[in-house]
Amino acid sequence: MIPRGTLRDRLRSQSNLFEELLEARIIIGIQINNHRQAAVFYGKHLLESVDGYDRMRGELMVSVEIDFSTDDIYYLYAICMGFKGSCSFGRGPGESDKLNPAFN
């Protein structure tokens, strides 16, 4: 059984977090105890197409602290797939994150 993380509870108690995720053009999951470990969950195609950080300023990027060893990754993955229509997590460089043609 996969250990339960805290993202589920934070989504319930912090309604603004869920709203930010829905509005985000880029969603990044960051390891709670090690901010050097991170993964793009949504918007990887946008990040790859941007030429320089200055052009990213107008984009809404949301970073969410998660524990990669718990079910947090599944909750964030489900939000991206269910509400955004795709998820970049686990995709290699150049691989499309547009998994659901109905949304794209």
- Domains of the chain: total: 1
Q: Is the residue at 70 inside a domain?
A: yes
Q: Is the residue at 89 inside a domain?
A: no
Beta-bridge partner residues of 63: 28
Q: Is the residue at 91 inside a domain?
A: no
Residue 8: pLDDT over 60 = yes
35-72 per-position pLDDT tens digit: 889 999 998 888 777 665 555 665 688 999 999 999 99
Q: Is the residue at 39 inside a domain?
A: yes
Domain that holds residue 63: 7-84
